Amino acid sequence: MKKKNSREFWKTTPLGEMSREQWESLCAGCGRCCVRKILFKDTAELAYTRVACRHLDTRTCRCSVYEKRSSVSLDCLTLTPAKIRLCLHLLPETCAYRLIAKGRDLPSWHPLVSGDPDSVHRAGISVRGKVLSEDDIEDADLEDHIIDWIRH
């Protein structure tokens, strides 16, 4: 029988069987999924930019309209266990949802492992201090802000 309240529940509970609380706690609060992306149709390459959604609080790396994010921002990717496999390619390689879906463990800087919600920031994984708001950038200039550090 699987333990549902285990301290390391992500090792024993499949994504599709996690409680809402467990699912939500997988988010490390890095903000990497909240940066604008560009999909180049000719090459199918996905590029990350240093431009974040206007609703990302760049200090806390949390969404300021989280509960209504899908209706407020049409570009927002709302992850669910049912959609996770379809969305993996849109998530940074460091994302807990992506790691677990691929059978990997969480890194030491993840708050569930470290026990500290600021460990993701201290490890330099979050976008804190590294992004601009989309309110400050014209869409036509988005390609000028492509970065490569988010993939790793």
- The residue type found at 70 is S
pLDDT digit string, tens, across residues 116-132 = 999 999 999 999 999 99
Reduced to 3 states, what is the DSSP secondary structure of residue 62?
Answer: strand
Distance CA 64, CA 142 (A): 22
pLDDT digit string, tens, across residues 61-117 = 999 998 888 888 878 888 889 888 888 888 999 999 999 999 999 999 999 999 999
Name the residue with higher pLDDT: 67 or 151.
67
Distance CA 70, CA 75 (A): 8
Look at residue 3 and tell me whether its pLDDT is greater than 60: no
- Nearest CA to 130 out of 140, 139, 138, 120 is that of 120
Backbone torsion region of residue 44, taken as left when φ is above 0, otherwise alpha when ψ lies between -120 and 50, otherwise beta: left
- Nearest CA to 50 out of 118, 140, 137 is that of 137
